[in-house]
Amino acid sequence: MAIERQQVEQLAHLARIALDESTLSRTTRSLADVLALIDQLQAVDTTGIEPMAHPLDAVQRLRADIVTEPDQRDVLQAIAPAVQDGLFLVPKVIE
């Protein structure tokens, strides 16, 4: 499986990562290497083996439906760049 430079640009855009010219070429090569490794893995015969959703052979533990988190808005908003009326302010987004 190969990866094109254009696909890396697209992925970078989706991940909101800015890649300059030299990083873009380097990243394309690195990803191509990773994909080559995956090709090797995919060549292994996995007949009869269940796909793994998680490396730990355990199941999810559940918590009881009880409120345990108090209101800590003041503490949590102390690290926010901008707040007003209890809201976090962010650059305007319109759908």
Q: Using DSSP, state whether 84 is helix, strand or coil.
A: strand
Is residue 49 near another protein by the rule CB under 8 A?
no
Among 20-28, 29-37, 38-46, 66-74, the segment contacting another protein (CB under 8 A): 66-74
**Each residue of 33-44: b (16+ CB within 10 Å) or e?**
eeeeeeeeeeee
Is residue 66 near another protein by the rule CB under 8 A?
yes
Is residue 17 near another protein by the rule CB under 8 A?
no
Is residue 6 near another protein by the rule CB under 8 A?
no
Q: Are the C-beta atoms of 34 and 1 separated by less than 8 Å?
A: no
Looking at the DSSP bridge assignments, the partners of residue 83 are 88
Q: Residue with structure tokens 């962010």?
A: 90
> For another protein, which is the closer residue by CB, 14 or 43?
14
Chain residues in the site for another protein (CB under 8 A) = 10, 13-16, 53-54, 56, 58-69, 71-73, 76-77, 82, 84-95
